[in-house]
Amino acid sequence: MSKLILPLLNVSNLNKNFEIKKIFKPIKTLKALSEVSFTLNTNETLGIVGESGCGKSTLAKVLTQLEKPSSGSIQIEGIEIPNLDPKEFHSTIQMVFQDPYQSLNPRKKAFDIIADPLRINTNKSENDIKELVLDMMKKVGLREEFKERYPHHFSGGQRQRLGIARALMLRPKILILDEPVSALDVSIQAQVLNLLLELQAEFSLSYLFITHDLSVVEHISDRILVMYLGRIVEYGPREQIFNNPKHPYTQLLLESAPKVLGGTNSKKDWNIITSEAPSALTLPKGCAFASRCNNKTPQCDLSIPELKDEGGRLVACFNAIKG
Ligand SMILES: Nc1ncnc2c1ncn2[C@@H]1O[C@H](COP(=O)(O)OP(=O)(O)O)[C@@H](O)[C@H]1O
Ligand SMILES: [Mg+2]
């Protein structure tokens, strides 16, 4: 009998609302995540892309239990996250943040930053911890003498290596990388991306790679999930998304990507920058992308398109691009 293989991470119908309270104003609900569902398999990289404010960091925080979901389910190998022992949880999912300056304690030396997860979550001796820390520093490309340094003595790329080392100490299966290279120069970005690829192979890691820049995930993702104002608009294999985008928003993101890399100014680049998106606080009744969309029809203002299978990838659009 064949064994049922569960995805490593299975997220279904995840919602996250923030209550916005302003003095003398009625409480408003901001829908940061709406009905987000996806899976992550062992050894896979899922790229999560979308503009600033579309809910990427909220998703990362809900998955790492820094925020509570409003509703929905998050399962690791079939077990709901709240039912996992906290130690088991930490040794399954870890996060690397965009700004290691803010996420690394400035008063701690590199050695202690990397050692702390082991001190807090295991009973290992200081001798064993020292060996493991020095070994990990080597693996992430930090020289041993850096162990006495404080985060502000490191360059941006080195600080990100430090954050990666810390995240790997408990040997997690999943790394959530929230814009891990967005604050770095392009040449340093490539070095950190290469390091992440090496570490993925060495530790059989699964990556949830969050970025606003499609070009960053083009070469490292197996699948891509595109978000717009808290919803998934397109989700599927990387080649399909890059070679043949079917959601008008994915197409716009792809067409404006060369500008991010210093390419030419086309009319589409202009479009994405100047056309106003509604905010997560004032979402329209229909498709949230309709106000910026060239394919819009009257139906788009009336109801929200569901994710539908289009030849092996999912698209949430009434007028998905043909071909
Ligand atoms: N703690 C919070 N309280 C209220 N609103 C929040 C909070 N965190 C995020 N938001 C809002 O949720 C939306 C998604 O934000 P975020 O997840 O940070 O997006 P991204 O990481 O894609 O830029 C934004 O409209 C943001 O203002
Ligand atoms: Mg963010």
Per-residue pLDDT of the chain (323 residues; tens, 9 = 90+): 555 778 999 999 999 999 998 888 888 999 999 999 999 999 999 999 999 999 999 999 999 999 999 999 999 999 999 899 988 999 999 999 987 777 899 999 999 999 999 999 999 999 999 999 999 999 999 999 999 999 999 999 999 999 999 999 999 999 999 999 998 998 899 999 999 999 999 999 999 999 998 888 988 999 999 999 999 999 999 999 999 999 999 999 998 765 444 444 443 433 444 456 678 888 999 999 999 999 999 999 999 999 999 999 999 999 999 87
Interstrand relation of 231-237 and 174-178 (parallel, antiparallel or unpaired): unpaired
- Nearest atom (ligand 1) to Cα of 179: 21
Give start and end residues of each alpha helix (H) in the chain: 56-63, 86-90, 100-103, 110-121, 126-139, 156-168, 186-203, 214-217, 238-243, 248-260, 267-274
| Ligand 1 midpoint to CA 37 (Å) | 18
- Alpha carbon nearest to ligand 1 atom 10, residue: 32
- Nearest atom (ligand 1) to Cα of 230: 14
Ligand nearest to the CA of 283: 1
Q: Domain 9-92+172-315 belongs to what architecture? A: 3-Layer(aba) Sandwich (3.40)
- What pLDDT is stored for residue 241 in this prediction? 96
- What pLDDT is stored for residue 268 in this prediction? 41
pTM, entire model:
0.93
Hey, where are the domains in the chain?
A: 9-92+172-315
Which residue in 241, 247, 238, 224 sits closest to 305, CA to CA?
Answer: 247
- Nearest atom (ligand 1) to Cα of 55: 17
| Ligand 1 midpoint to CA 28 (Å) | 14
- What pLDDT is stored for residue 23 in this prediction? 86
- What pLDDT is stored for residue 117 in this prediction? 95
| Ligand 2 midpoint to CA 4 (Å) | 35
Give kind and range of the element (H or E) at residue 109: none
- Nearest atom (ligand 1) to Cα of 279: 25
Give kind and range of the element (H or E) at residue 21: none
- What pLDDT is stored for residue 6 in this prediction? 87
Question: Ligand 1: residues within 6 Å at CB?
Answer: 18, 30, 32, 50, 52-58, 280
The DSSP letter of residue 5 is P
**Residue 290 CA to chain centroid, in angstroms?**
25
| Ligand 2 midpoint to CA 53 (Å) | 7
d(CA 37, CA 16): 13
d(CA 189, CA 217): 11
The first and second tokens of residue 199, run together, are: 């570490």
- What pLDDT is stored for residue 3 in this prediction? 59
- What pLDDT is stored for residue 275 in this prediction? 57
The first and second tokens of residue 237, run together, are: 């294999």
Interstrand relation of 206-211 and 174-178 (parallel, antiparallel or unpaired): parallel
Q: Is 30:280 a contact under the CB 8 Å cutoff?
A: yes
- Alpha carbon nearest to ligand 1 atom 20, residue: 53
Ligand nearest to the CA of 33: 1
- Alpha carbon nearest to ligand 1 atom 2, residue: 18
Q: Which residue out of 17, 18, 98 has the highest number of ligand 1 atoms within 8 Å of its CB and is therefore the one to mutate?
A: 18
The DSSP letter of residue 268 is H
| Ligand 1 midpoint to CA 226 (Å) | 16
Given its phi and psi angles, is residue 311 left (phi above 0), alpha (psi -120 to 50 degrees) or beta? left
| Ligand 1 midpoint to CA 59 (Å) | 9
| Ligand 2 midpoint to CA 178 (Å) | 7
Q: Which residue out of 30, 177, 212 has the highest number of ligand 1 atoms within 8 Å of its CB and is therefore the one to mutate?
A: 30
Q: In what order do the strands lie in the sheet with 9-20?
A: 28-40, 9-20, 71-76, 79-80
- What pLDDT is stored for residue 264 in this prediction? 43
- Alpha carbon nearest to ligand 1 atom 7, residue: 18
| Ligand 2 midpoint to CA 126 (Å) | 36
